[in-house]
Structure 1
């Protein structure tokens, strides 16, 4: 019997923005750059526990759809990362996509996920 597809993940709402550390600010810059280079809907960046960063843009192909955050997390894992320290997503949405949130939480239950507008203004941070 085929498996029932999972329900779409909830879209966590960021809390009020707080000042970012220099390292987290760099994640927003990297995410903006990834989004802008290809004109994608979203850009994202993550930092692993060794301080390495990975940036990605959303992918929408007929056979494959990934959020920017999913792809950034996948890139980190493919490079050997076992834990994430922080993440940032640049998007026009006011909430964080559930699939990207889940991917980050697979590697870190406490990593802040900063959500920023396309101009780099931080809209808030998801910590749960």
Structure 2
């Protein structure tokens, strides 16, 4: 599978997170911190259920945190995502995670936050 290009986190007016979206950032920070991963992510499905994950880097398997969170949601029967959050030190959103979210929601916001929880930006496309 070809690698997806990174997605810039740029340009939009700062978004005020709803309480539910802020919860996604908290869950993503927790997933990242629990295992000392490079990234943490969380998604919310059409029923309000949340799924959190950390990035995985094994010799035979590499998944971004967002890919794993979306995969967990899909494995639980999710058919649509309402929102996603990623906690990372990167200045861009990984393309593979972005593509995974877009598989289940063309318009769900993907909030990107720094490790301290500060919102860096929101990718809406």
Q: How would you bin the TM-score normalised by the shorter chain?
A: over 0.9
Q: What is the CA–CA distance in structure 2 between the aligned matches of 1:27 and 1:14, rounded to whole Å?
A: 18
1:13 aligns with 2:30: no
What is the aligned partner in structure 2 of residue 117 from structure 1?
114
Which deviations, in whole Å up to 9, do the C-alpha atoms of 1:31-69 show, x marking residues without a partner? 000000000000000000000000000000000000000
Among candidates 54, 57, 80, match of residue 57 of structure 1: 54
- Give matches, 1:1-128, under 5 Å: 5-6=1-2, 8-15=3-10, 16=12, 17-128=14-125
CA shift for structure 1 position 78? 0.5
- RMSD (Å) for aligned C-alpha atoms: 0.8
CA shift for structure 1 position 13? 1.4
CA shift for structure 1 position 12? 1.2
Structure 2 runs not aligned, ≥5 long? none
Deviant stretches of 4+, over 4 Å: none
Q: What is the CA–CA distance in structure 2 between the aligned matches of 1:68 and 1:48, rounded to whole Å?
A: 16
Alignment size in residue pairs? 123
Normalising by the residue count of structure 1, what TM-score does the alignment of the two structures yield?
Answer: 0.93
CA shift for structure 1 position 10? 1.7
CA shift for structure 1 position 77? 0.4
Which deviations, in whole Å up to 9, do the C-alpha atoms of 1:63-122 show, x marking residues without a partner? 000000000000000000000000000000011000000000000000000000000000
| Larger Rg belongs to | 1
